[in-house]
Amino acid sequence: MKAIVLKDLENLNYEEIDNQSIEGFVKIKIKASALNHRDVWISKGQYAGIKFPMVLGSDGVGFDDQGKKVIINPGLNWGSNEAFQSKSYQILGLPNFGTFSDSCWVAPTQIYDFPTHLDDVSAAALPSAGVTAYRSLFSRAKVKPTDKVLISGVGGGVALFAMQFAIALGCDVYVTSGHEWKIEKAISMGAKGGKNYKSDSYVKEFQSEVGGFDVIVDSAGGDGFSNLVKLANPGGRIVFYGGTNGNLNINPQMVFWKQLSILGSTMGSDHDFAEMLAFVNQYKIVPVVDSIFELKDFKAAFDKMNKGEQFGKIVFRNS
Ligand SMILES: NC(=O)c1ccc[n+]([C@@H]2O[C@H](COP(=O)([O-])OP(=O)(O)OC[C@H]3O[C@@H](n4cnc5c(N)ncnc54)[C@H](OP(=O)(O)O)[C@@H]3O)[C@@H](O)[C@H]2O)c1
C-alpha cells in the first residue's frame, strides 16, 4: 500500500509500505483522512512512544470489508471507566498504523455508522477533533444552553468544533484568535463576538463588553492561561485539552475565591464518540474544511498546520 510513512525523524515520505494486518481487525479502504496537530508533533519527535516505521493519521472514513461506508473512532481500549482512559488506551496512527494510506486495519469496536448528511471529506474531519471538543464541553465542563462560552484560539481544529457544538446547543459563544480574519469567520458562523489574544487590552474589553464566561475551552495553556482565569465567572469551568504554549500560569487566589473548576480532557470514550456522532447528526453539523490535499502533497499540508494558517481541518482525499 502507499502511505505517509515516518521512517525516522529525518524522513517523512509518501511511499510503499507493507500493510500491518492485525488478527481480528477489519481492513478499511480509506477514502479520506484528516490531519491533526498530533501528526505534526509525532513527525517532529515531540510525542511519547514513537516507533519506526509508522504510518501517521488518526482520522479517516472509508469502506469496510462488506463494502459499507464507515467512520473510524481513532480511540481504542478506553476501558470501563468513563472518567479516564485505561493504561492500554491508544490512538490510531501510533502505535498502530494510521489512516494516511490506501487502507488501514482497525478493531471492530472502532467502526461507526457514517454520518449520512456529510460527504467523505467533511466526515473525515470529524473524529479526533470532534470527540475531543465534545468531551471537553459536555462530559467535562457540563455545558448548558444558558452558559456563556469562550473558545480560545478558534482557528484550531478542536476549537472550531467546540464553537459549532456550543452554538448548536444555544449558548452565547465568544472566541479569541491571533488573527482578525478568523474572528470574522467565527462571527459569520454564529459567534457573538471575538478578540485577538495578542492584544494587551482584550481581557478588559471582554470584561466591559461581555462580563465573564461560565465555560472556557482552551488548548494553548502557557502564560495566556492567566487571562482565562480572569475572564471566568464565579463557579466557572475552564477546560483544556492541549498545552501548545507550555505550563499554565495560574493565580491560585483567583481560582479558589471564584470557586473555579479547571479541567483537563483528552480525546473521548466510546460513549463520548457515539454521543458526539448523535449530536452531529441531530444538529446536522458540517465540519469546516480549510483545504484538501492528495497524500502525495502531504508536505504542504503539514507546513500549513505548522504555520497555523488554517481555519478548520486540513483533509487528505484519496483518489
Ligand atoms: N488532549 C487531546 O485529546 C487533544 C486532542 C486534540 C488536540 N490536542 C492538542 O491541542 C492542541 C491544538 O490541537 P489542534 O489539532 O486543534 O491544533 P491546530 O488545529 O493546529 O490549532 C492550534 C490553534 O492554537 C491556537 N493558539 C495558538 N496560540 C494561542 C494562544 N496564545 N492562545 C490561544 N490559542 C492559541 C491557534 O488559534 P488561532 O489560529 O485562532 O490563533 C491555532 O489555530 C495541540 O497542542 C494538540 O496536540 C489534544
178 CB less than 6 Å from ligand 1? yes
Look up residue 204 and give its three cell numbers: 478588559
Q: How far is the CA of 74 from the centre of ligand 1 (A)?
A: 18
Q: How far is the CA of 68 from the centre of ligand 1 (A)?
A: 33
Ligand 1 atom at shortest distance from the alpha carbon of 160: 16
Q: How far is the CA of 44 from the centre of ligand 1 (A)?
A: 16
- Grid cell 507550555 — which residue? 246
CB atoms within 10 A of CB 67: 7
- Grid cell 484528516 — which residue? 34
Rounded to whole angstroms, how far apart are CA atoms 242 and 219? 4
281 CB less than 6 Å from ligand 1? no
For the chain, give every domain's residue range. 2-126+287-317, 131-264
58 CB less than 6 Å from ligand 1? no
pLDDT (tens digit per residue) in 290-319: 999 999 999 999 999 999 889 999 999 998
182 CB less than 6 Å from ligand 1? yes
With 0-12 / 13-18 / 19 or more C-beta atoms within 10 angstroms meaning exposed / middle / buried, residue 16 is exposed
Which among 217, 66, 227 has a CA at the least distance from the CA of 137?
217
**For the range 201-209, what are the long-range contacts, defined as Cβ-Cβ under 8 Å and sequence gap of 24 or more?**
202/176, 202/227, 203/227, 203/230, 203/231, 206/150, 206/174, 206/231, 207/231
Rounded to whole angstroms, how far apart are CA atoms 92 and 73? 8
Ligand 1 atom at shortest distance from the alpha carbon of 222: 31
Mutate to test the pocket of ligand 1, among 56, 184, 219 (most ligand atoms within 8 A of CB): 219
132 CB less than 6 Å from ligand 1? yes
Instruction: Read off the amino acid at residue 15.
Output: E
Q: Parallel, antiparallel, or unpaired for β 69-72 and 261-264?
A: unpaired
pLDDT of residue 20: 82
Rounded to whole angstroms, how far apart are CA atoms 249 and 260? 15
136 CB less than 6 Å from ligand 1? no
Rounded to whole angstroms, how far apart are CA atoms 17 and 97? 11
Q: Show the low-confidence residues of the chain (pLDDT under 50).
A: none
Collect all residues with Cβ–Cβ distance below 8 Å to 67 and sequence separation of at least 6: none
pLDDT of residue 319: 85
Nearest protein CA to atom 33 of ligand 1, as residue = 153
pLDDT (tens digit per residue) in 166-197: 999 999 999 999 999 999 999 999 999 999 99
Task: List the CATH code of the domain at 131-264.
Answer: 3.40.50.720
Mutate to test the pocket of ligand 1, among 244, 245, 304, 307 (most ligand atoms within 8 A of CB): 244
Mean pLDDT of the chain, nearest integer: 97
pLDDT of residue 19: 83
Q: How far is the CA of 195 from the centre of ligand 1 (A)?
A: 17
> Considering the entire predicted model, what is its pTM?
0.97
pLDDT of residue 309: 86
Collect all residues with Cβ–Cβ distance below 8 Å to 160 and sequence separation of at least 6: 129, 154, 186, 288, 311, 312, 313
Domain at 2-126+287-317, CATH from 3.40.630.190, 3.20.20.70, 3.90.180.10, 1.10.220.110: 3.90.180.10
Q: How far is the CA of 23 from the centre of ligand 1 (A)?
A: 35
